[in-house]
Amino acid sequence: MDNDYLSPIQLVGTSLRELCFRFSEDREAFEQRELDYRLSLQGGVGIDEHDPNEAIITFKVEVEWEEGAGPFELRIEYAAIARQDGSLSREMFEKQCRLTIMSVVLSYMRPMISRLMEEAGESFRLPLIDLRQLASKTTHGETK
């Protein structure tokens, strides 16, 4: 097979690191009022120090309530391993992992979040997430 058709970056594998969804004990107290929440998004890319052609990408989504505890707790974290063929610089490899691989990881998370919320009977939607903006806030490590 000719390598001209292959991407220089390949997704090697993914894993679900954490999945936490549980209702608050006093869930009924929240049903009568509207609650404000925000999504905490944390992403990171770590290039392997022994093999610069391999990276571990993590992405975490967590619901944070504006006023203390809310009716439920939701936290999901995924990790992915990506490899490159050696044709990209370290900076370009890291940038592409932040944008491309994180979007793939997010595509695994979205249906899981939707399904959890549907089962719970909550009206909660994961909004569109601009990974370019998330990546621009970060140089190394994690972002919020």
Domain 3-136 classified CATH 3.10.420.10?
Answer: yes
Decide: 96 and 9 in contact? Cβ < 8 Å: yes
CA–CA separation, 11 and 107 (whole Å): 13
Q: Model's pTM, two decimal places?
A: 0.76
Looking at residue 141, its pLDDT comes to 42
Chain position carrying tokens 């509207």: 34
Q: What are phi and psi of 38, to 5 degrees?
A: -135, 155
pLDDT in tens, the chain (144 residues): 555 667 899 999 999 999 999 888 876 666 656 677 788 889 999 999 999 999 999 999 998 888 778 788 889 999 999 999 999 999 999 999 999 999 999 888 888 887 887 776 655 555 666 666 665 554 444 433
